[in-house]
Structure 1
Amino acid sequence: MQIEARNEFAADPFATHAMLTDPVFLARVCIESGDLDHRVDAVAAHSAVHRTMRTPGSVQKFLGDTLTLLQDVRWNGPAADGARTGTLQLTVQGMPASAEAAIDLHPGGRGTVVNVSGDFTIKIPFVGSKLEAQAAPALLEGFAVQQRVGDNWLARRDG
């Protein structure tokens, strides 16, 4: 299943990238998402987030009460204007569910636009595509949380 997400942040690409790779910011996203537990490792070129969360209700009977999501983001170096590309890989520990996406961070919008585009799959015969459609809104909500936390983070930075 194709996934698309867009965030716009009121900061230049350099500051936006610094925020998106700040371990404190990434931990705040986990907390605001309601994660039960999380561990964050991040530097400018790579971030890894290990998150335990409640399973979305729509797929709970197939995946159990909780799931562990491993989020791996790798960034390429910046262009002169701060634009960057990267990759996002999400895997659900012990489950045949994953996402692979390209990230495009560039000047635009309120300062910086971050586009994520890729594929989300749950490889379970006969029901995988149905589960993908049911789980996709929870996956996309993660990008909405990142937007809200990022807006607050940047507002505090300026104020």
Structure 2
Amino acid sequence: MRLSVTIDLPTDAHAAARLLADPEYVHQKVRASGALEQHVDITGAPDEAFTVTTRRALPTDQIPAHLRGFVGSRIDIRQVEAWEGPAADGSRVGTVVVEITGAPVRLSGRTALAPAGDGSTTVTYDGELRASVPLFGSAIEQATAEAIRSALEVEQDVARRWIAGHGPTPQQ
């Protein structure tokens, strides 16, 4: 199934990239997603190309009860966002992959960070979500899509609180 989600960040595109590449912020958003365990790895620099890899263990309480048998009591998620270098206005594109370890579910697609005017920025995730489970694939895709949308809403809230409390991320 196709999944497209856009979040809004109340800061300019250059500062938004610095935020997305800030290890403290990334740890905060992963914790806010309900992670039982987490690991964050960031390579590159926000004024160039950078990659953010997160691994998190989440409880399966967001997954409908009749589908939990496919994933167990927790799910291990690996997410990789590889951002290309910025254009002059701070916009950039990249790729995103989300894999659920031990479950045949994968999201792969494109990301885009773009100035939205008035000192705000949009971050869009657009990709294909696939669950290769006979008979239940569509239901698992729907449940996973809702979990991803919820996680990105949490990320948007964390980002807004972070920016309000820390101000725009300083240049590194």
TM superposition score category, shorter chain reference: over 0.9
Which of 65, 89, 95 is the equivalent residue of 1:87?
95
Distance of aligned partners of 1:158 and 1:23 in 2 relative to their CA distance in 1, 3 Å threshold:
closer
Instruction: Confirm or deny that 1:51 pairs with 2:60.
Output: no
| TM-score between the two structures when normalised by the length of structure 2 | 0.88
Instruction: Confirm or deny that 1:122 pairs with 2:131.
Output: yes
Q: Distance in 1 between matches of 2:63 and 2:96?
A: 25
Q: Give the equivalent residue in structure 1 for 2:77.
A: 69
* Correspondences of 1:1-159 after superposition (within 5 Å): 1-43=1-43, 44=45, 45-55=50-60, 56-58=62-64, 59-108=67-116, 111-158=120-167
Identity of aligned residues (%): 29
| TM-score between the two structures when normalised by the length of structure 1 | 0.95
How many aligned residue pairs are there? 159
Distance of aligned partners of 1:109 and 1:6 in 2 relative to their CA distance in 1, 3 Å threshold:
farther
Query: Over residues 121-156 of structure 1, what are the superposed CA-to-partner deviations in whole Å (9 max), with x where a residue is unaligned?
Result: 111112111211122111111110110000011111
Q: Distance in 1 between matches of 2:144 and 2:166?
A: 34
Code of the aligned partner of 1:52: A
Contact 1:8 1:109 in 2 (8 A): no
Query: Over residues 5-34 of structure 1, what are the superposed CA-to-partner deviations in whole Å (9 max), with x where a residue is unaligned?
Result: 111111111110111111111110111111
Contact 2:56 2:77 in 1 (8 A): yes
Gaps of 5+ in 2: none
Deviation at 1:109, TM superposition (A): 5.1
SS in 2 for 1:126: coil
Code of the aligned partner of 1:146: E
Contact 2:63 2:143 in 1 (8 A): no
Gaps of 5+ in 1: none
Question: After TM superposition, what 4+ stretches of structure 1 lie above 2 angstroms from structure 2?
Answer: none
Code of the aligned partner of 2:96: L
Q: Distance in 1 between matches of 2:91 and 2:99?
A: 26
> Which range moves more in the overlay, 52-61 or 24-33?
52-61
Deviation at 1:157, TM superposition (A): 2.1
